[in-house]
C-alpha cells in the first residue's frame, strides 16, 4: 500500500501515527513545501518572543520519520492531484503514485483587499519562515512601530509576542472587540484591558483602506481617513482552507473539503483532515471547518487508520481553545451566545476572572473561562457528552468546580476512568 500525505503538520503527524497503528509495512511519503520537520504552529509566537528555542519547536523526536519509515520530502510543493492516474505531481515535475492520498494542506492567511498593498512590505504570521523574517527585522532594529491588522487569535498572539520584545504594538480590528470568534463583549473587554496594561493599543471598527508612501516608514490609511505610520505591518485577517489542489476535482467543498465520518472525500482514495477539511461539528450538527490544532491531529489520526483499512468513525468535534496573554488565561469551548428561547446563560464576574456558561435544555453548550484554569476539561466533557446538568448547574459556576460536584453516579464513572477508560478525542 502506498500512502501519500500532502502537508507535514498536526493532521499529517496524526495520520502517520494512525497508519502505523494499523499497517507497519506500507510506504508512507509526506510532502511539505516548508523546510522543517513537523513543528508546532501555535508555538511560532512563543519562538518570536524568545520563550521557545528552535529545537523545541518540533513536535516529535528527530528520529520520528525514520522510526515510522516515512519518506519525508521537504521544500517540495505539490502542484496537481491527478486522480485518474492516482498520482500527485510536484512543482518541479516529478510524479508520485498513491493508493491512498491525504490532503492535510491546512490553511493559509487571507489577504484582505487593501489598495497598494502589493507594492509594500507586509508579513503574515502563520508559518515558521514568516516569523523568522519578522524576527530578523526586529533584531536589525528596523522596527519601532509595529502594526497588526486583525485582533483574532493569530493577531493577538502576534501582538503579545512583539510587545514582549519591548515594542509598542497597535492593532486594527474591523469588529467591535478582540477575539470575536471565541469571546463575547464583556470578557473580550477584560482581556483587552490586560493587553492594554502591557502597552498594546487597539483601534476598533476600522479597516485599512490603503497603504501609501514607502521605503522605511509606510503610511496606512484607515477607513475613516486616519493615517497610521508603521515599519512592520502584520496581516492577521483570518485564514482560509487551502483547497487549491482540489478546486478542479469532482468532490464536494464549501469553505473546506467535505469529508464523511471516515475523513474520506467524495473520491474514495482521497482523504482530508485538519484545517482544510470540513469535518463533523457536534454542536452545530453540520460539516464545518474547525481550525484548531487538537482537531487537526484527531482528524488526521482517524484518517490514517481508515486509509490503512481499519474502519474508524470520527466522533466529531467542536471549537476548543486555550490561549493566554501576558499570563492571563483564556479557555473557551463550544458556543458563547444564547440564541433560542430554551438557551440560558449563567455568569460569574470578578475583577480578575470571568466564567460564562451557555446551556440549552440544561445541557452545556459552551463556556468562556478567563483567569482560571483548573479542571476546564470537565466542562468540555459535559459539552461533548451532552450531559443533563440540571441538578448541579449552580455548582458548575462556582470556582473550583470539580468531580466532587457531580452527582454520585457520574462522579463514580469519572473516578473509574469512564466506562471504557477511554476518552474519545475531545476537540
**Which residues touch 403 (CB under 8 Å, ≥6 apart)?**
375, 378, 411, 414, 415
Task: For residue 38, give the 3-state DSSP assignment.
Answer: coil
Instruction: Please say whether the beta carbons of 150 and 237 come within 8 A.
Output: yes
**In the complex with another protein, which residue's Cβ is closer, 58 or 262?**
58
**Contact residue for another protein among 24, 50, 54, 56 (CB under 8 A):** 56
Q: Which entry of ligand FAD, another protein, none binds 203, CB below 5 to 8 A by partner kind?
A: none
Q: What is the DSSP string of 248-294?
A: TSSS-BSSSEE--TTSB-SSTTEEE-GGGEEEEETTTTEEE----HH
**Contact residue for another protein among 147, 283, 323, 358 (CB under 8 A):** 323
Does residue number 50 form part of the binding site for another protein (CB under 8 A)?
no
Residue with cell 482514495: 269
Bridge partner residues of 353 (DSSP): 350
User: Rounded to 5 degrees, what are φ and ψ at 322?
Assistant: -130, 110
Binding mask 371-390 for another protein (x = CB under 8 A): --xxxxxx-xx--x------
Q: Which entry of ligand FAD, another protein, none binds 192, CB below 5 to 8 A by partner kind?
A: none
Site for another protein in 82-101 (CB under 8 A): none
Binding mask 8-37 for another protein (x = CB under 8 A): ------x-----------------------
**Which residues touch 194 (CB under 8 Å, ≥6 apart)?**
325, 326, 328
Q: How far is the CB of 66 from ligand FAD (least distance, A)?
A: 20
d(CA 382, CA 204): 35
Binding mask 166-205 for another protein (x = CB under 8 A): ----------------------------------------
Instruction: Please say whether the beta carbons of 31 and 78 come within 8 A.
Output: yes
Q: Which entry of another protein, ligand FAD, none binds 414, CB below 5 to 8 A by partner kind?
A: another protein
Residues comprising the chain, all counted: 427
d(CA 183, CA 106): 24
Q: How far is the CB of 353 from ligand FAD (least distance, A)?
A: 20
Q: How far is the CB of 101 from another protein (least distance, A)?
A: 23
Q: Which entry of another protein, ligand FAD, none binds 374, CB below 5 to 8 A by partner kind?
A: another protein
Binding site for another protein (CB under 8 A): 14, 40, 42-43, 46, 51-52, 56, 58-60, 293-294, 297-298, 301, 320-324, 327, 329, 331, 333, 373-378, 380-381, 384, 402-405, 414-427
Amino acid at each position: 500500500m502506498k500512502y501519500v500525505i500532502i502537508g507535514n503538520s498536526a493532521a499529517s503527524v496524526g495520520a502517520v501515527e494512525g497508519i502505523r497503528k494499523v499497517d507497519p509495512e506500507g510506504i508512507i511519503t509526506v510532502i511539505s513545501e516548508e523546510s522543517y520537520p513537523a513543528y508546532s504552529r501555535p508555538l511560532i509566537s512563543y519562538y518570536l518572543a524568545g520563550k521557545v528555542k528552535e529545537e523545541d519547536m518540533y513536535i516529535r523526536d528527530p528520529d520520528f520519520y525514520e522510526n515510522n519509515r516515512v519518506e519525508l520530502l521537504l521544500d517540495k510543493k505539490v502542484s496537481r492531484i491527478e486522480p485518474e492516474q492516482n498520482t500527485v505531481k510536484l512543482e518541479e515535475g516529478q510524479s508520485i503514485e498513491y493508493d491512498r492520498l491525504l490532503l492535510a494542506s491546512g490553511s493559509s492567511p487571507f489577504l484582505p483587499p487593501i489598495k497598494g498593498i502589493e507594492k509594500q512590505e507586509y508579513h503574515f504570521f502563520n508559518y515558521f519562515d514568516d516569523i523568522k523574517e519578522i524576527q530578523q527585522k526586529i533584531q536589525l532594529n528596523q522596527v519601532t512601530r509595529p502594526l497588526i491588522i486583525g485582533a483574532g487569535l493569530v493577531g493577538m498572539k502576534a501582538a503579545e509576542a512583539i510587545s514582549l520584545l519591548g515594542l509598542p504594538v497597535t492593532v486594527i480590528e474591523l469588529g467591535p472587540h478582540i477575539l470575536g470568534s471565541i469571546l463575547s463583549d464583556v470578557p473580550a473587554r477584560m482581556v483587552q484591558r490586560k493587553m492594554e496594561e502591557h502597552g498594546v493599543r487597539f483601534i476598533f471598527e476600522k479597516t485599512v483602506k490603503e497603504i501609501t508612501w514607502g521605503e522605511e516608514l509606510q503610511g496606512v490609511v484607515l477607513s475613516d481617513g486616519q493615517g497610521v505610520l508603521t515599519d512592520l505591518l502584520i496581516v492577521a485577517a483570518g485564514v482560509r482552507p487551502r483547497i487549491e489542489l482540489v478546486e478542479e476535482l469532482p468532490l464536494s467543498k464549501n469553505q473546506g473539503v467535505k469529508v464523511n465520518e471516515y475523513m474520506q472525500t467524495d473520491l474514495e482514495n482521497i482523504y482530508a483532515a485538519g484545517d482544510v477539511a470540513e469535518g463533523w461539528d457536534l454542536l452545530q450538527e453540520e460539516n464545518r471547518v474547525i481550525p484548531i490544532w487538537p482537531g487537526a491531529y484527531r482528524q488526521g489520526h482517524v484518517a490514517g487508520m481508515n486509509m490503512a483499512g481499519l474502519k474508524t468513525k470520527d466522533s466529531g468535534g467542536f471549537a476548543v481553545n486555550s490561549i493566554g496573554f501576558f499570563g492571563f488565561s483564556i479557555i473557551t469551548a463550544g458556543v458563547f451566545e444564547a440564541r433560542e428561547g430554551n438557551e440560558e446563560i449563567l455568569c460569574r464576574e470578578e475583577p480578575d476572572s470571568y466564567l460564562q456558561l451557555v446551556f440549552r435544555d440544561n445541557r452545556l453548550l459552551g463556556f468562556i473561562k478567563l483567569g482560571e484554569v483548573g479542571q476546564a476539561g470537565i466542562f468540555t466533557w459535559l459539552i461533548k457528552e451532552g450531559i443533563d446538568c440540571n441538578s448541579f448547574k449552580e455548582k458548575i459556576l462556582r470556582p473550583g468546580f470539580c468531580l466532587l460536584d457531580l452527582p454520585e453516579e457520574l462522579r463514580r464513572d469519572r473516578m473509574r476512568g469512564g466506562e471504557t477508560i477511554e476518552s474519545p478525542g475531545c476537540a
